[in-house]
Amino acid sequence: MVVTTGKTKVRKVVAFDRDGPAIDDGVHEALSQALFEGRLAPGSKLPEHRLAVIFNVSRERIRKVLHRLVAERRLEGVPQRGTFVPNPSSDEIRTVYRAHRVFEAGVLIQLANELNGAIMARIDAHLREEREAASRADRAASIRLSGAFHMLLVDSLDNAELSRFLRELLARSALMVSAFEPARHSLCAVDEHAAIAEALRSNDVERAVALSGEHFAHIEHRLAQGIVERSELSIEDALAPLRPEVGRARQAARRKPGL
């Protein structure tokens, strides 16, 4: 492009940011995963300049991703102060887990009508992953897999809107669990999940719904006890294992035909 200013012609090179959307998605995915797995302590600030260094991207790109996460209610934006990991109140915990109970009751009733061997095989495989995570006391993996169990149930209905709703709800409740639930309980959720699965296998939908309600009530009760376990990691150490996500996103964008 040639720009004319007075009598002087200046050649301005405009670079096309071919990797932009992919990098944005990579940073978004990494931060979402960090929140979901409880890597970031509730109430902690996420400074743009530190995130830019961690992910090797511009502050403007980080700002755009943070705005997106705030819009999705995964982070909290405070004017003149910055962006923070949410620190949920007891009222918020109660509201979110009531939504979990009501929502999953409907999912289980519908799933009982569509259950087949393939779905049960996926559930059983997932429960094996949960048990393995519990056996090695991997709390981050247990939190992630716990949420994935409930996602597996709703995804089996093949309804994108239902799956989207639960994914947003889990983004909030996973943070609550990572902040307030004692680690020993996080690692035992697989037993309650297995009981729900057995009720489904037996076609006892009433019991499955009751067990699901008790499961969420147990979590809510433990969170209400106010036992707080906050991460001692800096955001650099917490996010370091997730940096490759952004690198892979950049490489994938560059491999696309025509770029």
> Are residues 139 and 193 in contact, defined by beta-carbon separation less than 8 angstroms?
no
pLDDT mean over 75-103: 92
CATH number listed for the domain at residues 90-224: 1.20.120.530
pLDDT mean over 43-71: 94
Whole-angstrom distance, CA of residue 40 vs CA of residue 43: 9
Q: Percentage of residues in the chain with pLDDT exceeding 70? A: 80
Question: Lowest mean pLDDT: which of 14-23, 63-72, 205-214?
Answer: 14-23
> Are residues 240 and 54 in contact, defined by beta-carbon separation less than 8 angstroms?
yes
Residue-wise pLDDT tens digits, 37-47: 768 878 889 99
The residues with which 175 forms a beta bridge, in sequence order, are none
Statement: residue 227 has pLDDT above 50: no
Whole-angstrom distance, CA of residue 124 vs CA of residue 232: 34
User: pLDDT value at position 187?
Assistant: 54
User: pLDDT value at position 137?
Assistant: 81
> Are residues 186 and 177 in contact, defined by beta-carbon separation less than 8 angstroms?
yes
Tokens of 27: 């940073």
CATH class (in words) of the domain with range 20-40+45-84+234-255:
mainly alpha
Higher per-residue confidence, 175 vs 33: 33
User: pLDDT value at position 182?
Assistant: 58
Residue-wise pLDDT tens digits, 172-186: 887 787 667 655 555
pLDDT mean over 121-128: 98
pLDDT mean over 122-131: 97
User: pLDDT value at position 174?
Assistant: 76
Strands 2-5 and 76-78: unpaired
Domain range annotation of the chain: 20-40+45-84+234-255, 90-224
Statement: residue 116 has pLDDT above 60: yes
User: pLDDT value at position 179?
Assistant: 66
Higher per-residue confidence, 186 vs 15: 186
CA dihedral 215, 216, 217, 223 (to 10 degrees): 120
Give residue 103's pLDDT band: very low, low, confident or very high (50, 70, 90): very high
User: pLDDT value at position 1?
Assistant: 45
Collapsed DSSP state (helix, strand, coil) of residue 39: coil
Mean per-residue pLDDT over the chain, rounded: 83
Tokens of 248: 């892979």
Give residue 223's pLDDT band: very low, low, confident or very high (50, 70, 90): confident
E-strand ranges in 6-56 read 8-11
Give residue 19's pLDDT band: very low, low, confident or very high (50, 70, 90): low
Higher per-residue confidence, 143 vs 112: 112
